[in-house]
Structure 1
Amino acid sequence: MTSMKYLFVNCSKNKNGVTSDLGKTVFEGIHYNPLHLVDYSIKQIDQQNDERVDQFREVFNQFEEADVILIGTPVYWSSMSGYLKTFIDRFSEVTDVNLEGKEVCLIIQGTAPEDAIPFIEHVIKHLCRRFDMKYKGLLQNKEDAKQLNKILKRQ
C-alpha cells in the first residue's frame, strides 16, 4: 500500500504568516511537503531566458508528485498573490502531464477577502477541470483547517 503524498503550496510572500499557519494546521500530525513559492524564481510566461534561473519545472515536479495539494494564498489587492497567478499562468506549458485524480484544496485568507473569493476559487476550479483534478473546497480560517485535518487523518 502506498502512502499519500501531501503538498502545501504557500503562495504568500511570508513563509511564517497566516497562510502558512493555516497550512500547518491542516497538516498537523501528517507528513507533508511545504513549498513556499517565494523561495523559487518562476518567471512570467514567455519571459524565461538564459540569464536568469527559472524554477517552474522544479516546483511543478513537486506538484505533479503529490496526491493531495493544498494551495494557500493571501488576498492582495482583491485577488490572489502574484506568486500564485504566475505559477498558474505557466501551466499552459505543461499540457502533456497527467494530474488526473489529484485532490486540491484552497486556502484564501486576508482582511475581508469576500470580494476576491469567487474569482480566485473560479480560477482554481477551472485549473482542476482542465487537468482532471478534484477540487475539494475552500478553507478560510483555523476551524476550517482543523476540520480538514480530521478528514485527512481518516484517509
Structure 2
Amino acid sequence: MKIVLITGSSRQASNSTYLAKTMLAGLPFTELELKTFTLQPIVDHRHDREWPRVADDYPRLIKQVLTAQVIIFATPIYWYGMSGLMKTFIDRWSESLKLVQGFREGMKGKQVYLVLVGGDRPRKKGQLIEQQFRYICEFLQMNFKAVLIGEANRPLEIKNDQAALQLAAQLGHQLKRDGDQHA
C-alpha cells in the first residue's frame, strides 16, 4: 500500500507535519513537502479550447499522488482555512481534470486522511476545512477516512496535545492493519 503525505506548512518545525508523521510512524510513505516545490497558482481555462501547460513542479507532484492508495493531507489552519500552499495544489486539480487522462478514475477510491493543527479552537474552527475535504472527496469519489485535529501554535507545541498524539497513534495502527490486510 503506497502512502503519500502532502504537507502544506510553510514552517520548518511544523506542527501539522509532526502530527502526521506521528500517525505514520513505522509505515513507509513518500512526503511531498509543498514548500519545497515550485507551484504556480491556477489560471482557470476550463471553458477555453486549450489549457496551456505551466512550467512548474505540479505534474511531478500529481504523478506521485496518482500512484498512491492512501493520501494524507497535513496543513496548519491559517485564517480558518487550509494553507495557501495546500489550496494552490488542490486548485490545480482542475487542470488535471482537463489535461491528465484518467485523472478522475485515478483518484477514485483513494483513502484520504486529513491532519489539521491550529491554535485557536481548532477542533471547532477546523470543521470548515474538514467539510471542504469531504466535498473534494465526494466529487472525486475518494474515501474520506478520518480527520485528526491538534491544537498548537508555536513550533512543535503539538507535542503537548496528548489527545491528538494518541489519536494519531490509533489511526496509524489502523492504517497498518489495513495495509497488512491488502498485502
Q: Is the pair's TM-score, using the shorter chain for normalization, greater than 0.5?
A: yes
Indicate the residue corresponding to 1:124 in structure 2: 133
Instruction: Report which of the two structures shows the higher radius of gyration computed on alpha carbons.
Output: 2
Q: 1:82 aligned to 2:84?
A: yes
Q: 1:28 aligned to 2:51?
A: no
Rounded Cα–Cα distance in structure 1 between residues aligned with 2:109 and 2:93: 17
**How many pairs are equivalent?**
151
What is the Cα-based RMSD across aligned positions, in Å? 2.0
Q: Which runs of 5+ in 1 are unaligned?
A: none
Relative to its length, the structure with more helix (as a share) is 2
User: More deviation in 87-96 or 60-69?
Assistant: 87-96
Indicate the residue corresponding to 2:146 in structure 1: 137
Deviation of the 1:14 alpha carbon: 2.2
Q: 1:56 aligned to 2:64?
A: no
Deviation of the 1:49 alpha carbon: 8.1
Deviation of the 1:54 alpha carbon: 1.3
Q: 1:104 aligned to 2:112?
A: yes
The share of aligned pairs that are identical, in percent, is 32
Q: Is the 8 A contact 2:6 2:34 kept in 1?
A: yes
Deviation of the 1:114 alpha carbon: 3.9
Q: Which runs of 5+ in 2 are unaligned?
A: 45-50, 150-163, 179-183
TM-score (norm 1): 0.89
User: More deviation in 58-67 or 11-20?
Assistant: 11-20
Q: SS of 1:94's equivalent?
A: helix
TM-score (norm 2): 0.76
